[in-house]
Amino acid sequence: MGDDSLFLQYLLSGITKGSIYAVVAIGFNLIYSATGVLNFAQGEFVMLGGMIAVTLCAFLPLPVAVAAAVVIVALTGCLLEILFFRKLRHHTIMHMIIITIGLSIVIQEVALHLWDEKVRSLPYFSGSEVSSIRIFGASVSPQVLWVLGTVAVVVVLLHAFLRYTLQGRAMRACSSNPDAAMLSGINISNMRTLSFGLSAALGALAGCVISPITMTHYEMGAPLAIKGFAAAILGGLGNPMASVVGGLLIGVIEAFSVSKLPAAYNDVTAFALLLLMLFVRPHGLFGSPSGESVREV
Amino acid sequence: MLLKRLFPVIGFAALAIAVQLGAGALGKEFYLTQLTMAIYYAIVVMGLCLLMGFAGQVSLGHGAFFAIGGYTSAVLTTSDFSRFQDSLWAAALKRIHVLIPKADLYGGQVLTTTPWAAFVAAMLLTFLIACLIGYPALRLKGHYLAMATLGFCLIVNKIVLGTAWLGAADGISGVPEWNLAGGLVISGRSAVRVQNYYAACALALFLLILLANLVHSRVGRALQAIHDRETAAGAIGINTARYKLNAFVLSALLAAAAGVFLTHYTAGIGPSEASALKSVRYVALAAAGGMSNPWGAALVSTAINFLSLRGWFGTYDNAVFGAVLILIISIAPQGPLKPLGLWIRRLLSGARSAAGGEHAAS
């Protein structure tokens, strides 16, 4: 065990957490580009996914439980859009922000009362908590590979969906110019509902695969949402694929800061990075400073 | 016109007196303690009204400013500076009565800061931090600003939780009472309960009058213009960045002042004051009162916070605030008071015309 393997250990743990931030960031981006709403309740989808899967796992096989959880949370996402945002089209950004914050609190409290304040987790997808795989001298839980694999597949599929399918292209059209999209016969309202559903499904899936490693807890949503947002900002808001880089970067920086800073200040790094990024380069690492688009959101 | 301006002031004063007399008559004077706390929290909400309702900016960081005020004054008034006794600055501060010798619990001599000096220090620190955060943050808009202030709030919360000399998870207790002036003491002792209730009412009323005047001044109209259309406001020569920063700093100072007062009143402060949920709660209360209506916000937030402090909402405390947020914004984004007033008026006139109809039929 040298410094190299320790370095690798930190790096892998950073990438694992970072890939979850990336999924949350992609969820932010999907909803944001289709509706202009920045969904503060994004982290709650991750929490709900984990919670529902854990509950269903008691009487269903694991893959079925995960799939069911993803579907249920996706439907919840669609329902939220229909109930709260469909008729609010003409409200100001401030109103939208406040509603999603309210939703986030209510979902959290509902989860607290449906389940309880205990920490839960899904069983390891393969192996157990003690099994490990050695990669270049660092030992890794097989679950880490599940996380990385799932996130990679999801990112590729999503990219393909947005680029090559009719629905995906319609969604991109809505985000670049809603009026023109409507004129060419795209049902914008449905696209917005779809974006909520899709982003909820992504969050739920992330919540399931990460559950064996970081556990699921009713309060886990808010910090995740902010780190996911930091990842989205780092990559540049409105660019789902760039937020993958942003997410990984934040995860890795966070993992290495653990070795330098006291554990109590763990989260401070990510939040400070977010502030710094917002103040210095709010259009992100890869975005272009097209004045209005950043400042008018 | 003057009467119209004076009406809310007189109404509030009358309400404050009526509540105190009512509580006394019912033998429930202990209600006044929670009411006093609720009024201090309402001061934070009033500041937020100025920022949200007039300047049109959302801050999810006001819990942090409250905590910065409270913690600064708690740390300064409870720590012992006697080991610096011989240094030049300590002697100088002692001469101008910023530091005073005091007997501690065990009879030893300690050197602590006077509450007044601590208050001034808390205000200065808040001013500095608010400028530092506000200057870059206010170039951002909408979502970005909300996230930036939320990030700031979480950083403050984590630092408080992780720092031993800030009491970590336990917070700071044993904060001395604050002898304001002329025998008026900010303290939670039951002997001075009524006196403290009126002190809080007077402070809130004074700040409300100040805000009302500000809103009707040139500054207020500039802020209103920024709220309605920022680009247009800039085009007619309003320095939008400066006005937004001023509103932000002023509302942060109000939050910090409330923090100082409440810390002396409850003799302590805990890390939960800086939590994101607290900040969200202030936003909810400002929305519940009607953001551009400081009078309504003060009234509604005092009432809801009082019920919350009395434990009315039980384990659903946070859920109630979340639900209030969603319902008010989706049904009555201007706040519930104005539509409610209209509705009652319509109901009354409806009843009158129905009665008239019956007369006609008979």
Task: Please identify among residues 87-106 of chain A the ones whose CB lies closer than 8 Å to any CB of chain B.
Answer: 87-88, 91, 93-95, 97-99, 101-106
Which sequence spans correspond to the domains of chain A?
Answer: 3-218
> Quick check: A36 contacting B, CB < 8 Å?
no
Q: Taking CB atoms and an 8 Å cutoff, what residues of chain B touch A226?
A: 147, 150-151, 154
Cα of first residue to Cα of last residue in chain A, in angstroms, is 49
Of residues A73 and B181, the one with the higher pLDDT is A73
> Residue A38 has what pLDDT?
82
Domain boundaries B2-316, corresponding CATH code: 1.10.3470
Cα–Cα distance between A278 and B4 in angstroms, integer? 44
> Residue B355 has what pLDDT?
64
Q: Which amino acid is at B72?
A: T
Residue A79 has pLDDT above 60, yes or no: yes
CB nearest A102 (choices: B140, B152, B325):
B325
Bridge partners (DSSP) of residue B268 are B173
> Quick check: B334 contacting A, CB < 8 Å?
no
> Quick check: B287 contacting A, CB < 8 Å?
yes
Q: Taking CB atoms and an 8 Å cutoff, what residues of chain A touch B277?
A: 105
Respond yes or no on whether ipTM tops 0.95: no
Q: What is the mean pLDDT of chain A?
A: 83
**Residue numbers in chain B where pLDDT is lower than 70:** 1-3, 103-108, 141-142, 334-336, 354-362
Kindly list the distances between the CA atom of residue A215 and the CA atoms of A209, A211, A260, in Å, as whole numbers in the listed order: 10, 5, 24
Which 8-state DSSP code applies to residue A284? -
> Residue A90 has what pLDDT?
61
> Residue A218 has what pLDDT?
84
Which 8-state DSSP code applies to residue B216? T
Helices (H), chain A: 3-35, 42-56, 62-80, 93-114, 142-164, 166-176, 178-183, 188-214, 221-235, 242-260, 266-280, 291-295
Q: What is the pLDDT of residues A117-140, one digit of tens each?
A: 888 888 888 777 777 777 777 777
What is the least distance, in Å, from the CA of A242 to any CA of chain B?
Answer: 18
> Residue A36 has what pLDDT?
77
